[in-house]
Amino acid sequence: MFESLIPRVSTFASDIDGLIILIAVLVGFWFLVAQGVFFWSLFRFRHRDGQRARYITGEEPSEKRWITIPHALVLVCDVFIVVGAIRVWVEVKQTLPPPDATVRVIAQQWAWTFIDPGQDGKLDTSDDIRTVDEMHIQVGSLYHYKLLSRDVVHSFSIPSFRLKHDAIPGREIIGWFKATKTGVYDIQCNEICGIGHGIMGARLYIESKDEHDAWLRKMSAAQTPRSQ
Amino acid sequence: MQKPIATLRSATGIPTGRLAIWWVIASEIVIFGGLLASYIMHRIGHPEWGGYAAHTNTVAGAFNTLVLLSSSLSAVLAHQAAEGGDGPKAARLLRLTVLGGAIFLCVKGLEWTHEIREGFTLTANGFWTFYYTAAGLHGLHVLAGMIILLFVAADAQRNRELQRVELIGIYWHFVDIVWIFLFPLLYIAK
Amino acid sequence: MAEPASALAHEKPHAAAHAAHDEGFVKKYLLSTDHKIIAMQYLFTGMLMALIGGYFAYGFRMQLAFPGAHVPGYGVVSPAQYLMLVTNHGTIMIFWVAMPVLIAAFGNYLIPLMIGCDDMVFPRLNRLSYQLFLLSALILIASFFVPNGAFSGAWTAYPPLSANAAYNLTPWGASLWLIAVALEFVAFLLGGINFVTTVMNSRAPGMTAMRIPMVVWMIVIASILFMASVGPLVAGAVLLLFDQLLHTHIYDPAHGGDPLLWQHLFWFFGHPEVYVVLLPAMGIVAEVITVFSRKKLFAYKTILYTAIATGVISFFVWAHHQFVAGIDPRMANIFTVTTLIISVPIAEMIFVYLATLVGGSIRFTTPMLWGLGFIFAFLIGGVTGIFLGSSGSDIYFHDTYFVVAHFHYTFFPIAFIGSFAGITYWFPKMFGRMMNETLGKIHFWGTIIPVNLIFLPLFMAGLAGDHRRIYSYMNFPDSARPMLQNLRITATVALIVLLAFQLVFLYNFITSLFRGRKADVNPWRANTLEWTAASPPPHGNFVEMPAVYRGPYEYSAPGRDDDFWPQNIPA
């Protein structure tokens, strides 16, 4: 169901989706129980002639149990969720696996600039390839992205990767991703950045090795050699 | 306007005026606390601010600290006089407190004039922005306190609302204490 | 303790002294220091601002459903205007609707009446609080008419966008917005003085702490929470104003500043703020569900302690709004833990309210429907918060419509369902007339059904990746799919239906004011003290100041014929 709404195209997308499903199951259970008790009481305890409400203080241990036991069970569910959340978070945000490739992502009002290191594989050399609003990467390669902003806070978001991070002016933020399928997907700016926020989309081209090599060659030939 | 019964009751045993002033002070502590915490976080990340802080006038700051402490003393004595029912004496002592506040503000005025002439303005850099904002906010509270002190003194002169002498005293002590935090943070830490 | 009634012997209510007093309209209604009039001022101002906030929602949702089209009653919504509408919709609804209605209107109206005294402790300060509040509202409205238009940087106003007119393009709007918000904060800080001191000190003899009605406790706790959390943001707002107007650089990284400082200051307040508005709404629901199920509130002390616990924990969760904002990633784990912890006392409060219903004798009056509607809808809001508080899933959900749907499933119950519960319940006391029950029920169903049809589709849209503050999804190929656009159109149509049914409420409210059936002193047969005063109460509230002999929720007590037992009747 989830995949039909938004495809999974990165290695950690299914981990994030798995966490979402875990939360949905645990939380969904309590939701149904609570709404069930709710609607049942409205029916069972609706006023009828001659029927009088019970006098219950809620201070007796036998009464309090109805609260403290669910309370404890909710806490147990929370532990599962916390553990699941931390595992996914550590995987995506606290580890930086060794990269196969790098790309610099520069956000500004209101466009995305991507700097590919070019055929020498090093950023800030004369063969760097600069594209605007288009990011070309190779499927199966582990990328480090170096995220910058030129002006206000933006946010680099690729929904099909389940990836997101804010771009803060004055800082370089490093993260990683690895694509699992080829295709073309949206890149969004996910933090309000002025009146052009709504046109600050870009497109992500995930290419096979051959396609990507071809692209590199084409871009290197077309671009005048210059530093970023 | 006749006071409502609500004002005269005291289920806690504490007079309502005192509860109110403590609430005001609590909210001010959070405001100044937030400002100073932000300053301290910035200061930690900017070691060069120590160099900027070297240009503040520690002597003037120390003098002002003494002035404020003395004015708090006269506020305490005013409270004592009010407790004893001597409104005119309390009024005199409150006006002495106002004088202390006035001296404080004059010295600050001289300090700032000198610093601005040297080029250390609000926009010079982050340190000076915090300096003027924190000291300025404090100065506004000193001024507001002075005005209220004068009103309370006017009432006390006629032996009216003597319970307010204690309350404005509490406020004034708070203003004093904020300065006791500001002084080392802005002047001494270099 | 000493016989409560004797403690009243020395008090002389001055209602009699004022009986022959004939005041002009201005003095009686505009410059009044009477807490009930001031409450009405806050209520009517809040209702008016709700109309403006609702109109803005109409504007931007029409743009989303029919991008680029002319919106009837507005015109074409440009990208810049879209962001102004979204920014001010949020700002207005939180600061100029939820807070004034739930805290200032109900707090001012109910507190003196429910604790059995004649007014707030500082009536002139109370009047000043309203006047500052009104001024703040006028400043915000003024910001819609200045050159370059109103502020459009979202209610969160992150710098550098909000600090620098070169980025936000609305120099006047940005500063007026900020000044309006800061002034509103000051107005509520002043208002809090009255709420807290009055409840602490001016209670009727015999009203011990555990006999205070829950709504009064909740408003007090909310006031304390507000006061303890807003200070750093006031300081931060002064600094942001300086960045805007005087070109200082506190939030400007190009000159040694830090944009993240604002975020921390904002959310340190922003998170407790949601409980500042939640607690009073829950208090109103507690009053309503006990009266209309004729049943004692379950575990009063537990509710109180959970509310206080929630308030305390709320100071330690703020950075769950900043998981992907550039904070140290290790911090995120701490905030996930604290955020999941805070979900527990809230769950507990819901369980306690459910336990109150179990064993009751439930009457489905309009106020009760609203109280029940709150529980149903808030449950959805609460559980969806877990997806956002968990850092790993928030990576995906942050700044999507999933967040928007979550907070509307919490805020709409808080600001509107809670307020409607309170208004329909206390209308007879406030205005001496009954509202029309049939119209009330039509309004209820015409609100609760559409609201679900607005936000359930938006949950789906968020799941599908719709990001926030976007004026048209047609610019994003993956989001421009017809299936998703249909969800957006559904939400918009449901909103229009929702807005249309609010006319039923307005009609009911206004006609009942003048032509409603005259109300008895205690039409709902409730226990709390306000129902012993006349409907409406005179200046001074009570002809004789009441004393209290029991708690507020002694419904269906064993051994009594009546299924209620007012607090002021001697044992």
A163 domain-assigned: yes
Whole-number mean pLDDT of chain C? Answer: 95
Chain C, 308 to 367: residues with Cβ < 8 Å from chain B are none
Predicted pLDDT of residue C14: 52
B5 domain-assigned: no
Using the beta-carbon criterion (under 8 Å), do B30 and C227 form an inter-chain contact? yes
Chain segment C522-544, per-residue pLDDT in tens: 999 999 999 999 999 999 999 99
Q: Are residues A159 and A76 in the same domain?
A: no
**Cα–Cα distance measured from residue B84 to residue B96, given in angstroms and rounded to the nearest whole number:** 19
**Cα–Cα distance measured from residue B91 to residue C540, given in angstroms and rounded to the nearest whole number:** 34
Pick the residue from chain A with its C-alpha nearest to C461: A5
**Cα–Cα distance measured from residue C448 to residue C397, given in angstroms and rounded to the nearest whole number:** 25
Query: β-strands A163-167, A134-138: how paired?
Result: unpaired
Q: The complex's ipTM?
A: 0.95
Chain C residues near residue B9 by CB distance under 8 angstroms: 117, 201-203
Using the beta-carbon criterion (under 8 Å), do B7 and C229 form an inter-chain contact? no
Total count of domains within chain B = 1
Chain C residues near residue A51 by CB distance under 8 angstroms: 361
Chain C, 392 to 451: residues with Cβ < 8 Å from chain A are 392-393, 395-396, 398-400
Q: Which two tokens stand for residue C70?
A: 């002319």
Chain C residues near residue A6 by CB distance under 8 angstroms: 463-465, 478
Q: Are residues A124 and A176 in the same domain?
A: yes
Nearest Cβ partner for C393 among A5, A20, A195: A20
Share of chain C above pLDDT 70, in %: 97
| Residue C350 and residue A34 in contact, taking contact as beta carbons nearer than 8 Å | yes
Pick the residue from chain B with its C-alpha nearest to C248: B123
A228 domain-assigned: no
Amino acid (one-letter) located at A227: S
Give chain C's length.
Answer: 571
Chain C, 130 to 159: residues with Cβ < 8 Å from chain A are 152-154, 158-159
- Give the CATH number of the domain where residue B123 resides: 1.20.120.80
Predicted pLDDT of residue A1: 63
Structural domain range at position B138: 15-188
The CA distance from A125 to the nearest CA of chain C, in Å, is 25
Using the beta-carbon criterion (under 8 Å), do C302 and A5 form an inter-chain contact? no
The H-or-E segment that residue C270 falls in is helix C259-293
Q: Which two tokens stand for residue C436?
A: 């029309």
Using the beta-carbon criterion (under 8 Å), do A57 and C478 form an inter-chain contact? no
pTM reported for the whole predicted model: 0.95
Q: Are residues A125 and A162 in the same domain?
A: yes
Query: β-strands C70-71, A173-178: how paired?
Result: unpaired
Domain ends where: A94, A112, A145?
A: A94
Chain C residues near residue B33 by CB distance under 8 angstroms: 231-232
B4 domain-assigned: no
Chain segment C240-286, per-residue pLDDT in tens: 999 999 999 999 999 999 999 999 999 999 999 999 999 999 999 99
At residue C83 the predicted structure's pLDDT band, cuts being 50, 70 and 90, is very high
| Residue C300 and residue A58 in contact, taking contact as beta carbons nearer than 8 Å | yes
A119 domain-assigned: yes
Q: Which residues, other chains included, contact C58 with Cβ-Cβ below 8 Å and sequence gap of 6+?
A: C71, C73, C74, C495, C496, C499
Q: Are residues A211 and A114 in the same domain?
A: yes
Beta bridge partners of A130: A115
**Cα–Cα distance measured from residue C477 to residue C525, given in angstroms and rounded to the nearest whole number:** 59
Q: Are residues A25 and A109 in the same domain?
A: no
A227 domain-assigned: no
Q: To probe the interface with B, which of C23, C198, C201 has the most B CB atoms within 10 Å?
A: C201
Whether residue A110 has a cis bond before it, omega within 30° of 0: yes
Predicted pLDDT of residue C28: 80
For residue C401, which of C327, C479, C458, C356 has the smallest C-alpha distance?
C458
Domain C35-532 belongs in CATH node 1.10.630.10: no
Q: Which residues, other chains included, contact B51 with Cβ-Cβ below 8 Å and sequence gap of 6+?
A: B190
C541-562 as b/e: b if 16+ CB within 10 A: bbeebbbbbbbbbbbbeeeeee
Predicted pLDDT of residue A228: 47
Pick the residue from chain C with its C-alpha nearest to A165: C324
Pick the residue from chain A with its C-alpha nearest to C86: A192
Amino acid (one-letter) located at C233: L
Predicted pLDDT of residue C6: 72
Q: Are residues A129 and A168 in the same domain?
A: yes
N-term to C-term CA, chain A: 42
What HEC string does chain B produce?
CCCCHHHHCCCCCCCHHHHHHHHHHHHHHHHHHHHHHHHHHHHHHCCCHHHHHCCCCHHHHHHHHHHHHHHHHHHHHHHHHHHCCCHHHHHHHHHHHHHHHHHHHHHHHHHHHHHHHCCCCCCCCHHHHHHHHHHHHHHHHHHHHHHHHHHHHHHHHCCCCCHHHHHHHHHHHHHHHHHHHHHHHHHHCC
Nearest Cβ partner for B16 among C13, C201, C236: C201
**Partner chains of B (3+ C-beta pairs under 8 Å):** C
Q: Are residues A113 and A151 in the same domain?
A: yes
Q: Which residues, other chains included, contact C401 with Cβ-Cβ below 8 Å and sequence gap of 6+?
A: C458, C459, C461, C462, C466, C467, C468
Q: To probe the interface with C, which of B1, B30, B116, B128 has the most C CB atoms within 10 Å?
A: B30
A53 domain-assigned: yes
**Cα–Cα distance measured from residue C472 to residue A201, given in angstroms and rounded to the nearest whole number:** 12
A105 domain-assigned: yes
Total count of domains within chain A = 2
Whether residue C57 is predicted with pLDDT greater than 50 in this model: the reply is: yes
**Cα–Cα distance measured from residue C453 to residue C495, given in angstroms and rounded to the nearest whole number:** 8
Q: Which residues, other chains included, contact C314 with Cβ-Cβ below 8 Å and sequence gap of 6+?
A: C225, C229, C271, C272, C274, C275, C342
Whether residue C17 is predicted with pLDDT greater than 70 in this model: the reply is: no
CB atoms within 10 A of CB A208: 12
Nearest Cβ partner for C563 among A52, A74, A168: A52
CB atoms within 10 A of CB C444: 25
Pick the residue from chain C with its C-alpha nearest to B21: C193
B6 domain-assigned: no
A43 domain-assigned: yes
Chain segment C428-454, per-residue pLDDT in tens: 999 999 999 999 999 999 999 999 999
What residue has token string 């990208």? C79
The CA distance from C410 to the nearest CA of chain A, in Å, is 15
Beta bridge partners of A207: A138
Nearest Cβ partner for A193 among C161, C361, C392: C161
B29 domain-assigned: yes
Q: Are residues A82 and A171 in the same domain?
A: no
Which residues of chain B fall short of a pLDDT of 50? none
**Three-class secondary structure of residue A171 per DSSP:** coil
Show the CA angle centred on residue C355, arms to residues C351 and A77, nearest 5°: 25
Whether residue C32 is predicted with pLDDT greater than 90 in this model: the reply is: yes
Predicted pLDDT of residue C16: 40
Using the beta-carbon criterion (under 8 Å), do A169 and C253 form an inter-chain contact? yes
Instruction: Domain ranges for chain C, please list them.
Output: 35-532
A170-193 as b/e: b if 16+ CB within 10 A: beebebbbbbbebeebbbbbbbbb
What values do phi and psi take at A6, rounded to 5? -155, 115
Chain C residues near residue B137 by CB distance under 8 angstroms: 235, 238
Q: Which two tokens stand for residue B130?
A: 């915090």
Domain ends where: A41, A68, A94?
A: A94
Structural domain range at position A58: 2-94
Predicted pLDDT of residue B1: 63
